[in-house]
Amino acid sequence: MSLSDDDAEILEVARAGFIEEAQEMLRQYEAALLVLEDDPQDAESLNAAFRAAHTIKGTAGLFGYVHVVGFTHEAETLLEALRSGQRALDDAVMAALLESGDQISRLLDQLGQDEPDAEVLAQGHALAARLRALLGKAEAEAPVAAEAVPEAPTPPAELIEPIWHLSLRFGPDALRSGLDPLSFLRYLVTLGSIEGLQTLTDKVPVLEQLDAEACYLGFELRLRSEASRQDIERVFEFAADDADVQILDPGAPPAAFEALAERHCGTDAQARATLFACWQSLGLDFQLRRVELEVPSAEEPVVVPHIERRDPQAARSPSRRSGEGDRRQGGRDRRAGDETRFVRVRADKLDTLIDLIGELVIAGSGAQMIAHLEKNDVLLEATQRVMDLVQDTRDGALALRMVPIGETFGRFQRVVRDITKQLGKEIELVVTGGDTELDKSMVDAIADPLMHLVRNSLDHGIEAAADRIAAGKSPTGRLALNAFHEAGAVVIEVSDDGRGLARERILAKAIERELIEPDQVLSDHEVWQLIFLPGFSTAEQITDISGRGVGMDVVKRSIETLRGSIALTSETGRGTLTQIRLPLTLAMIDGFLTMVGGVHYVVPLATVAECIDLPREFNPDSQRISGTFDLRGEVMPWLDLARFYGVEPDTSRRRSVLVVRDGGSRVGLIVDRLLGEHQTVIKPLAGIFQHMRALAGSTILGSGDVALVLDIAGLLTAARRSASTEQSAR
């Protein structure tokens, strides 16, 4: 049967959802194992790792991803041995389990292919062998029957066909739990062939009582397979809570079917007759000669060999899998739970929504401008109300894209563990501020730059234990990741208590490469900035961790692409602090609108400290771009935006100074006019404008004019450089 286009699209979306969920489960799996490594007695972390692996295996089975199912089962078996106390946790077990997470990830990456790469499969086979060896059991022991079965003559084994009988009854909440009954049937085909199948629909209610989200189906089928009972049971083990699965061995005696009928039908003679007719249609006449429609007497208990015993009343009790009377209400209770408070939304749809809200902001600004021109109080009040609602909508839409950075920080637990073992160092990772929120696109983009910084600290920054003891330090090094909000930006810090940056070595390398003059005097800040030059490295030897000089320039370029800045501070023997400053979002900001030389400029409102008149000591006829002035006893650098951008200032009226800040630095920007607050939708600059300095983007005003959005970090850097150049010229 071929799928329709709609079915195929639904299936593809479900598969994409599975991969995303599986990746999340892998992160939980790895995080739980890392906690367990520090505290082997943490039973909850062990259970969390087991649940994550079990979920991945179960969901992969629904889609028929046999390679994922098979390998994950090996890891799950070892985890179960740890849970039961059959195996103790040691370094070898932990290493193998962490590597198993990597292998599952590689298999997930191969799902788009017809068959995984041979190299990936070979890695999986080798690691699976390691997992089994660590378990210490070549083969799982056969389950021991809990109840004795009366001996009866049975045909020789070689005369019994390998045909299993499966009796499946799915609970009413199976679909709500994400189970697809047809997926189980498709998966069974991978173990053999289905000789006969009957779908039972006797539980389907009349249309008026039908719950579209409930499952009423049952199946009776014959499976020809050489697989073991354990292999068949594995197909359904993750559906144990939402299905009643009974498996009868090949050649099962009539007594087994009698017990099965008692389980499903009880004393309902009509239901038993229907079930017997179903079995006969599957070719089971030869096994039903002794079956009668009368109810077996209570004095003749029937024992079913190798059938999972579950309380028959459990399926009928008032619970989540309750009977007809409570089924619909149970579904409502389940859907109202916490697990349904989250909805997966495609990122491109969210981007489209934010773009539309941005256009709404621009249109609203235009309407508000017309209201001001018309000087209509009623219209002004109405447009102001609309703009307030637009602003609330904007904030709500942007909040949808905000995610905690802690998820990114959590990835480095494994990195630190692996590298410290590789380097033979003792390093503690301290994470703070993980709940600080940042735009999702920026969280994804910052992961690689942070990885470079972390690896550099681990390799070059933090010394080996012996060197630290010789320097009077604790043998255990400390690497810290921190995040916090400051002045409308997110600050991310990577710090260590290692040896610090070698100032003289950096200068010597810069002179050797003719980046600076031998007699040139540089501040500490300028020396540290040399590290971000392409190919610059002071590493004495190249390792597979760092030292090739291809990282820090990439880090800086990636951060500047996000309109951010990076700064280094270091103290010899005490460690290094790297501080990354990023805007909260790349989409929309609250801005302060100014005009310089007939051009509109927008300054992010969060960076504005105050507005003042132009100081009296400033010469309006001066051609200088920058300088300093006295602001209430503080020496404040200033930057004339008009001359900085090469336009003629408007001197027909008194100009103003906009004092802005970026971290601990402040500068006064001289502008021609102050136009007030303005909601700003940031548009990227076209390539032709990329050469312009200290611009973060552009925006469209309500009048249709274009305004340029200033990059405050870039302006501060330009101001410092201009001041340094002018001082040198003197």
pLDDT in tens, 90-108: 888 999 999 999 999 888 8
Mention the CATH class of domain 588-729.
mainly beta
Confidence band (pLDDT; 50, 70, 90) for 492?
very high
> Is the confidence at residue 485, as pLDDT, over 60?
yes
- Return d(Cα 721, Cα 525) in angstroms, integer: 12
Cα torsion through 33, 36, 38, 43, rounded to 10: 170
> Is the confidence at residue 148, as pLDDT, over 70?
no
Confidence band (pLDDT; 50, 70, 90) for 144?
very low
On whether the CB atoms of residues 549 and 403 are closer than 8 A, the answer is no
> Of residues 29 and 336, which shows the higher confidence score?
29
The average confidence (pLDDT) of the chain is 78
> Is the confidence at residue 229, as pLDDT, over 80?
yes
Which pLDDT score, from 0 to 100, does residue 97 have?
Answer: 92
Per-residue pLDDT, averaged over 217-229, amounts to: 90
- Return d(Cα 251, Cα 43) in angstroms, integer: 43
pTM for the model: 0.59
Which pLDDT score, from 0 to 100, does residue 329 have?
Answer: 40
> Of residues 669 and 543, which shows the higher confidence score?
669
The CATH architecture annotation of domain 404-583 reads 2-Layer Sandwich (3.30)
> Is the confidence at residue 479, as pLDDT, over 90?
yes
Confidence band (pLDDT; 50, 70, 90) for 482?
very high
Q: Is 1.20.950.20 the CATH classification of the domain at 5-135? A: no
Which pLDDT score, from 0 to 100, does residue 726 have?
Answer: 57
Which pLDDT score, from 0 to 100, does residue 188 have?
Answer: 86
In sequence order, the 6+-apart residues with CB closer than 8 A to the CB of 122 are: none
> Is the confidence at residue 337, as pLDDT, over 70?
no
Confidence band (pLDDT; 50, 70, 90) for 267?
confident
Please name the helix (run of DSSP H) or strand (run of DSSP E) that holds residue 477, with its range, or none.
strand 477-486
Which pLDDT score, from 0 to 100, does residue 536 have?
Answer: 73
Could you tell me whether strands 402-404 and 673-681 are parallel, antiparallel, or unpaired per DSSP bridges? unpaired
Which pLDDT score, from 0 to 100, does residue 285 have?
Answer: 62
Which pLDDT score, from 0 to 100, does residue 432 have?
Answer: 92
Q: Work out the percent of the chain whose per-residue pLDDT is above 70.
A: 80
- Return d(Cα 730, Cα 231) in angstroms, integer: 85
Query: What spatial distance separates the first Cα and last Cα of the chain, rounded to whole Å?
Result: 85
- Return d(Cα 399, Cα 389) in angstroms, integer: 15
> Is the confidence at residue 34, as pLDDT, over 70?
yes
> Of residues 539 and 720, which shows the higher confidence score?
720
- Return d(Cα 268, Cα 204) in angstroms, integer: 17
> Is the confidence at residue 637, as pLDDT, over 50?
yes
Structure tokens belonging to residue 101? 């997470």
Which pLDDT score, from 0 to 100, does residue 544 have?
Answer: 52
Per-residue pLDDT, averaged over 118-143, amounts to: 74
> Is the confidence at residue 465, as pLDDT, over 60?
yes
Which pLDDT score, from 0 to 100, does residue 430 have?
Answer: 92
Which pLDDT score, from 0 to 100, does residue 689 have?
Answer: 66
Which pLDDT score, from 0 to 100, does residue 141 have?
Answer: 39
pLDDT tens, 529-580?
Answer: 888 887 676 655 555 555 444 468 888 888 888 878 888 889 888 899 999 9
> Is the confidence at residue 310, as pLDDT, over 60?
no
Q: Is 3.40.50.720 the CATH classification of the domain at 159-310? A: no
> Is the confidence at residue 505, as pLDDT, over 80?
yes
> Is the confidence at residue 140, as pLDDT, over 70?
no
> Of residues 665 and 315, which shows the higher confidence score?
665
- Return d(Cα 68, Cα 65) in angstroms, integer: 6
Which pLDDT score, from 0 to 100, does residue 331 have?
Answer: 39
Return the minimum-mean-pLDDT range out of 352-361, 406-415, 444-453, 676-685. 676-685
Residue 78 identity: L
Which pLDDT score, from 0 to 100, does residue 576 have?
Answer: 92
Q: Work out the percent of the chain whose per-residue pLDDT is above 90.
A: 8
pLDDT tens, 364-401?
Answer: 878 888 888 888 888 888 988 888 888 888 778 878 87
